[in-house]
């Protein structure tokens, strides 16, 4: 990864991040690797820049804090938006059908060693580094929670989730169970995770029993 | 904390751990403090011994590995066996009543900053230190899971949990939800955690809706 003297050349635009996808990808990859290897305290902007083969200022020009950079790097690993249903689909397609479509890639992702390492690192820094957790919550978790809530609302409307269910608690139960499961001894492979997610969604009322 | 030259004096008994509750308590306290402050890699036997005011051999005479010591230190924090129902109670008292009895102290424990720090440290070391997680799972989690399963079996027998519920998954959902909840921004205080646990147990079928 080389770049024409990025720290002394003027930024191509007056404000915002100059678009150089190769540089950006290299920084995000380096940030993710270092975060998974060493955690948030072991991943400094300086080390990230070094591993990406760029100068520190090149990183700072794009991300104002390490937390913002790490959260975007994490997002690039998770990167599952292509399998999320749209609002329109949630209104018109059954939750059962939407879950069946998303299940194989969701299981693959949840069973990957990278996901396990990621959650371990994020939760492991919760007390020492609350800023990362807060940013992660806002950018990575909340959008997925809204989606789950919308699916559960829909399932309530068609009667597969009980009318009196507490959807916030049920959302925590679903997300929490997956996290909890991957940290048990002998973490599941993708096939076992598919079976597990099916049982979980059945339990929640999103798949038929 | 002082002790009469523990590393050169012969152990009072031929095998097993000599009983000196004060020494043992000091070591467990030091181990827990260092683990919560610095994580498993930052808590060496040497540092634990130093903080407890004893020699390293005094620690090794009682615990053969750091993981065993840390797990016992963690157990001394959680220490909730006095509020667990007995097998006999599970057979004769309703799950509803047993949950109501346990709920205030369970909520207090789950809402404490120490619990949050503890779970963060244990999960944060899951990838770098699988031995601690494995020992924690066996000694701290499994006994509680068996208890939850027994309560859920009983609730199934009396009909408040559906006959076709997957109890392993439901147990993960309950434990996972609590973990997941304490890592959300603005973690709950004890009063909010009581409300939360009630909603969770209702959702699971262990409290009436």
- CATH number at A18 reads 1.10.10.60
CA-nearest of B45, B4, B42 to B23 is: B4
Does the beta-carbon distance from A173 to B127 stay under 8 Å? no
* B155-187 tens-digit pLDDT: 999 999 999 999 999 999 999 999 999 998 889
Enumerate residues 14 to 73 of chain B having a beta carbon within 8 A of any beta carbon in chain A: 39
Q: Are residues A102 and A198 in the same domain?
A: yes
Does the beta-carbon distance from B124 to A125 stay under 8 Å? yes
Of B10, B40, B75, the one marking the end of a domain is B75
Which of the residues B198, B203, B204, B206 would you substitute to probe the A interface, choosing the one with the greatest number of A C-beta atoms within 10 Å? B203
Q: Are residues A5 and A107 in the same domain?
A: no
Q: Which domain holds residue A95?
A: 80-204
**CA A198-A200-A202 angle, 5° bins:** 70
CA-nearest of B162, B195, B163, B161 to B178 is: B195
Does the beta-carbon distance from A203 to B172 stay under 8 Å? no
CB A74 within 8 A of CB A28: no
pLDDT interval class at A14 (50, 70, 90): very low
Does the beta-carbon distance from A173 to B200 stay under 8 Å? yes
CATH number at residue A116: 1.10.357.10
- CA dihedral over A87, A90, A93, A97, signed as positive or negative: positive
B194: left (phi over 0), alpha (psi -120 to 50) or beta: alpha
CB B52 within 8 A of CB B26: yes
* B26-54 tens-digit pLDDT: 999 999 999 999 888 889 999 999 999 99
Q: Are residues B29 and B64 in the same domain?
A: yes
Per DSSP (E only), the strands in chain A are: none
Q: Are residues A102 and A145 in the same domain?
A: yes
Q: How many structural domains compose chain B?
A: 2
Could you give the percent of chain B with pLDDT greater than 70? 89
Residues of B in contact with A181 (CB under 8 A): 172, 176
Query: Is residue A73 assigned to a domain?
Result: no
Query: Is residue B5 assigned to a domain?
Result: no
* A136-170 tens-digit pLDDT: 898 888 988 999 999 999 999 999 999 999 999 99
Query: Is residue A47 assigned to a domain?
Result: yes
CB B167 within 8 A of CB A202: no
Q: Is B135 on the interface with A (CB under 8 A)?
A: no
Q: Is B137 on the interface with A (CB under 8 A)?
A: yes
A64/chain B closest Cα distance in angstroms: 22
Residues of A in contact with B117 (CB under 8 A): 127
pLDDT for B2 beyond 50: no
Does the beta-carbon distance from B185 to A137 stay under 8 Å? yes
Enumerate residues 69 to 128 of chain A having a beta carbon within 8 A of any beta carbon in chain B: 116-117, 119-121, 123-127
Of B57, B75, B93, the one marking the end of a domain is B75
Q: What is the pLDDT of residue B80?
A: 67
Q: What is the mean pLDDT of residues A125-140?
A: 87
Q: Are residues B99 and B168 in the same domain?
A: yes
Does the beta-carbon distance from A137 to B184 stay under 8 Å? yes
Query: Is residue B138 assigned to a domain?
Result: yes
How far from A41 is each of A116, A136, B91, B201, CA to CA, in Å?
Answer: 18, 16, 49, 37
Of B11, B42, B75, the one marking the end of a domain is B75
Q: Are residues B71 and B85 in the same domain?
A: no
């Amino acid at each position: 990864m080389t770049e024409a003297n990025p720290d002394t050349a003027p930024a191509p635009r007056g404000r915002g991040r100059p678009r150089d996808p190769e540089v950006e990808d290299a920084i995000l990859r380096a940030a993710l690797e270092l975060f998974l290897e060493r955690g948030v305290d072991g991943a400094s902007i300086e080390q990230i820049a070094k591993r990406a083969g760029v100068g520190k200022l090149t990183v700072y020009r794009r991300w104002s804090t390490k937390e913002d950079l790490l959260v975007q790097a994490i997002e690039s690993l998770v990167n599952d938006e292509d399998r999320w249903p749209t609002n329109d689909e949630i209104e018109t397609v059954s939750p059962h059908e939407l879950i069946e479509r998303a299940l194989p890639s969701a299981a693959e992702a949840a069973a990957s060693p990278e996901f396990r390492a990621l959650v371990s690192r994020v939760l492991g820094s919760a007390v020492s580094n609350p800023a990362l957790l807060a940013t992660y919550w806002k950018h990575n978790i909340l959008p997925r929670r809204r989606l789950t809530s919308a699916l559960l609302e829909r399932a309530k409307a068609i009667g597969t989730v009980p009318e009196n269910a507490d959807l916030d608690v049920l959302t925590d139960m679903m997300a929490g169970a997956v996290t909890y499961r991957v940290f048990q001894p002998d973490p599941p492979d993708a096939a076992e995770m598919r079976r597990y997610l099916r049982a979980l969604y059945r339990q929640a009322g999103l798949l038929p029993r």
